[in-house]
Chain A
């Protein structure tokens, strides 16, 4: 139930519109329990019952996958649009206040820059959270399939997961690309500062709530770390433990998240 609990935490911390778009892990586990307690030991009937069970289970999984795909592609489309918009916005600012344009007032400039920074950071955050969404749902699927095979002695996992890998919601390459582009833009938009001072300020900084994006990000990271700690069922298909430098910093952020500034 470790994953289930983590998933629940993630869902709680996630942006409100996302809450019902995650894998219904608990429900699937329940179904699995019910499936495996149904008698299957009859010679003639069992293979057919089993077939039914498998079809039903697969049907549900396919539904889940549709859900992921739909949501993912919708978000992706939004992000593509926003990405372009961010670029346009910066271009406009450069044109307006750049070398060729007028000189803005100090306050105006700062204000606009702040806004842009916040917008970009949040945008970046949302995209990363979408990637996280994809990943956590994939992990959940893999787990539930593994449980299924274990409980029913079936062979659903391997072929099914191969199909999942090709699904739109799992192919996050485009989003990752946008994220990286965002990171380069950010560097241009943030004022340069000395390394040491920045580190100090970072440690003292109180978390900006950021509509829960930051909080969700932190939760996601910690969840990932937790889930990859060695488990009893470690196998060839398990991921190695996560090596997160600054994990204590991140953990402290999670604790401090109660005090937002904006």
Chain B
């Protein structure tokens, strides 16, 4: 399960639908993003305690059996009661709920094949902002608002792979309105009043469950197929931006426009050259039409939207300098009188500009250096991980040999290394111990390459050994690292 989420941001592979799906379907008009997070957090912490209710739990159990029977719908169902328990979860309520939640989840899980999960079902009941955004037609913002504001995630998202999440997201975009209104109602009631909330919610749950079931089956299949179709077109790998001419660098994330299937284009100077040529051929930026330019450019993957927006930008860029140049003539005459002052100011301005230039250059230099360093650091981390994985496969070195090597103070923080190592070993019990190796090792070593390689190899084998012993005994468990 861990492997999946980790690759959620992968854009090149069409299997990794998660991020691509989301971004493709839901343009990120995220200017609203930061505030809702802050606003809604308190809201949820307020309403949550009210949810700690009795009836809900039993309800969840009633449904779980229901779910086991119905295939496609099953999981969606799990989400709605799951929703209640999710809220419990986020409200820091007692453990018992979690046990039920978990139990219930595992039940429904076992009945799931590779069913596209309707993410919507969980997110519908989220703050009314969600549904309002939705009814506005732009599927963009709600996603940004609702999920972040809602601490919890659907059971769905976690359990299965990224595929599920992404298909669900797109399902959101293509969902039917009636269902949405149910959610809106639900959501509004949810947010409005704490006391009556629970009872309302119970009622709603009862009502909606009937509604959900029949509707669920159809939209899911329909939208998931739509999704995959839409997705394919966007699933281009990000082509290197510099291979300008005939290749169009299409990035999956879309711009602020609300059209769903609008992959973002990464322009290059070469591409722009071709653009300018086409425009001049057509008689200038005012005369040229997007269609004409598109035809003339003959670039694969370039759509008329790209050309249109680019042409617009081009026109504004041209207009500004030209107008300022024209205005320059008029400004000159009054200034000419104060010639001496003008001269002095001129020099000062030039010097100021020079200074500004210097500082900017400096910043750029440092940024480049910093970026290279960052790249190297991560490269190193990646290398280590590779090494650990190799070790994982080839077996584990004897503990004794490695523990003696630990004592070797090859790095500044060798003592802290030992301590953290011990701590890590006692706590570690991960499903994927190979991957845990590098992170724990890296957390405490210095930048020096040689020392890093030696000691981390050593640490890796230690971790591996420990993890092997522990893993076999217990089921996977996430440790809570103390701070």
Contact = CB atoms under 8 A, between A and B. Distances in A.
B317 A78 contact: yes
Given A70-B256, A155-B430, A236-B443, 17 more contacts: A38-B90, A44-B99, A50-B478, A52-B154, A52-B155, A55-B157, A56-B152, A62-B18, A81-B310, A111-B328, A151-B483, A155-B432, A176-B364, A201-B348, A236-B377, A236-B447, A261-B352
B153 A59 contact: yes
B356 A111 contact: no
Contacts, number: 384
Interface of A: 20, 24, 27, 30-31, 34-56, 58-67, 69-70, 73-74, 76-78, 80-85, 89, 107-108, 110-112, 114-115, 117-119, 121, 124-125, 128, 131-132, 135, 138-139, 142, 149-168, 170-174, 176, 178-179, 183, 186, 190-191, 198, 201-202, 205-208, 210, 213-214, 217-218, 220-221, 224, 228, 235-240, 242, 244, 246, 250, 253, 261-262
A153 B381 CA distance: 18
Given A40-B478, A163-B10, A236-B447, A30 B41 contact: yes
14 contacts: A27-B34, A40-B480, A47-B1, A73-B265, A81-B313, A124-B360, A151-B483, A153-B480, A156-B5, A167-B9, A168-B253, A172-B371, A221-B362, A236-B446
Interface range, B side: 35 or more
Interface in B340-381: 345-364, 366-368, 370-371, 373-375, 377-378, 380-381
Interface stretch (B178-186, B286-294, B434-442): B434-442
A221 B366 contact: yes
B255 interface: yes
B92 interface: yes
Contact of B439 (A155, A164, A170): A155
A125 B276 CA distance: 25
B443 A205 contact: no
A214 B346 CA distance: 18
Interface string B4-40: 0111111100000011001100011011011001100
Contacts of B480: 36, 40-41, 152-153
B95 interface: yes
Interface in B299-347: 310, 313-314, 317-318, 321, 324-325, 328-329, 331-332, 335-336, 345-347
B49 to A, nearest CB: 14
Of B272, B310, B352, B446, most A-chain CB atoms within 10 Å: B352
Contact of A118 (B11, B273, B353): B353
A31 B362 CA distance: 36
Given A49-B98, A73-B251, A235-B444, A131 B310 contact: no
Contacts of A190: 350, 353-354, 357
A171 B238 CA distance: 11
A218 B361 CA distance: 11
A218 to B, nearest CB: 6
Contact of B476 (A47, A131, A158, A176): A47
Contact of A46 (B106, B251, B329, B477): B477
Contact of B5 (A58, A202, A205): A58
B147 interface: yes
A40 B92 CA distance: 10
Contacts of B443: 235-236
Nearest to B331: A111
B190 interface: no
* Chain A to chain B: the 9 pairs with minimum beta-carbon distance, closest first: A45-B102, A51-B158, A52-B158, A159-B6, A56-B153, A163-B9, A45-B98, A27-B37, A66-B28
Interface in B246-261: 249, 251, 253-256
Of A52, A76, A179, A221, most B-chain CB atoms within 10 Å: A52
